[in-house]
Amino acid sequence: MNLITPAEHPFAQFVRILGKGKRGARGLTREEAREAMGLLLDGKVEDTQLGAFLMLLRHKEESAEELAGFTEAIRPRLAAPDIQVDLDWPSYAGKKRHLPWYLLAAKALAASGVRIFMHGGGAHTAGRMYTEQLLEQLDISCCDGWQAVETALDKHNLAYSYLGNWMPALQRMIDLRNTLGLRSPIHSLARVINPLGARCGLQSIFHPGYQAVHREASGLLGDHAIVIKGEGGEIEVNPDGACHLYGTLDSENWDEEWPALSAQRHVKPERLDPAVLDAFWRGEHDDPYGRLAVIATMAVALRGLGLAREAAFQQAQQRWDARLQSNQSII
């Protein structure tokens, strides 16, 4: 009989902090979150601990300090070169009610000279249309490494990279969605990372109350960010409703409320036909909802780059109108 008490696993303390009952449980400090994520990324955690940790964190709801600490563990492990980027554009939600108009907004901005790094976690939920499924159709470079990202940005001002290419441990956590039955907080965390240190990080957080938490996390990290409740969870303004911008710059918070752009709500399409995006880009098809969504989304991005609201909308319209003068048009 073995009478030696086994040593506790180093990660057990973090599961205990989150799960020690109604009175004993608490959130992680920023330092604890940094240490916990470091163990996760370095493969020093058992699968049972990973699942328990992610679901306890989801049940509690992640804090700004936790998101900041997690990100501080991730960034040194990225091994990313110094690549100049204007906008970090996370795309992890997918669309199911409307077409992904945000992709045309990003393409038009890129055609006008804005350097955009877009990243996502793949098509992880059935019934949604994801960025990854439209990259080839929209002639957006899909890059499998940092060198390819830099090349695409230098050539097209727009590059997309799958999270699994540059942080596979996080991708594995996202891929647990269908095993655990719920999305984990990693879906939210991926929006904060800003892996290349872009001038402004754009974030879309759909669930009410989380927008301010994400803004606070970016502020703790010293990042410039704009957080919105984007349509379907993507960085796309819904023109049928007001859009609140949660901004942070130099750790100072600011807020703007942009009114709805349409007096009446548009009827959502019966089905999502990606071919409409091509025709709309070429000016061969008009879509009233899409037109407003594209211009407003471009305006939010330009607001993040320092333009005031009115100037951002004017520039958005001008850059959209000039999109076909660029060599970056859809073939």
pLDDT digits (tens, 9 = 90+) for 212-268: 999 999 999 999 999 999 999 999 999 999 999 999 998 899 999 999 998 788 888
pLDDT digits (tens, 9 = 90+) for 278-300: 999 999 999 999 999 999 999 99
> Does 13-77 match 87-325 in CATH topology?
no
Residue 132 banded pLDDT, cuts 50, 70, 90 = very high
Q: How far apart are CA 41 and CA 170, in angstroms?
A: 7
In this prediction, residue 124 carries a pLDDT of 73
Tally Cβ neighbours within 10 Å of residue 250: 8
What average pLDDT does the structure give for the chain? Answer: 92
Convert the chain into a string of H (helix), E (strand) and C (coil): CCCCCCCCCCCHHHHHHHHCHHHHCCCCCHHHHHHHHHHHHCCCCCHHHHHHHHHHHHHHCCCHHHHHHHHHHHHHHCCCCCCCCCEEEECCCCECCCCCCHHHHHHHHHHCCCCEEEEECCCCCCCCECHHHCCCCCCCEEECCHHHHHHHHHHHCEEEEEHHHHCHHHHHHHCCHHHHCCCCCHHHHHHHCCCCCCCEEEEECCCCCHHHHHHHHHHHCCCCEEEECCHHHCCCCCCCCCEEEEEEECCEEEEEEECCCCCCCCCCCCCCCCHHHHHHHCCCCCCHHHHHHHHHHHHHHHHHCCCCHHHHHHHHHHHHHCHHHCCCCCC
What are the boundaries of each domain within the chain?
13-77, 87-325
In this prediction, residue 329 carries a pLDDT of 39
| Percent of the chain at pLDDT exceeding 70 | 97
pLDDT digits (tens, 9 = 90+) for 304-319: 999 999 999 999 999 9
Which span out of 102-111, 168-177, 200-209, 282-291 was modeled with the highest average pLDDT?
A: 102-111
The CATH classification number of 87-325 equals 3.40.1030.10
- Contact (CB, 8 A) for 93 and 221: no
Phi first, then psi, for residue 304 (nearest 5°) are -65, -25
Q: How far apart are CA 272 and CA 127, in angstroms?
A: 11
Query: What's at 230, amino acid-wise?
Result: G
In this prediction, residue 208 carries a pLDDT of 81
Range 168-188 average pLDDT? 87
Tally Cβ neighbours within 10 Å of residue 120: 24
pLDDT digits (tens, 9 = 90+) for 53-83: 999 999 988 999 999 999 999 999 998 999 9
In this prediction, residue 109 carries a pLDDT of 98
In this prediction, residue 183 carries a pLDDT of 79
- Token digits of residue 224: 């410039």
Residue 98 banded pLDDT, cuts 50, 70, 90 = very high
What's the CATH class of domain 13-77? mainly alpha
pTM of the model: 0.93
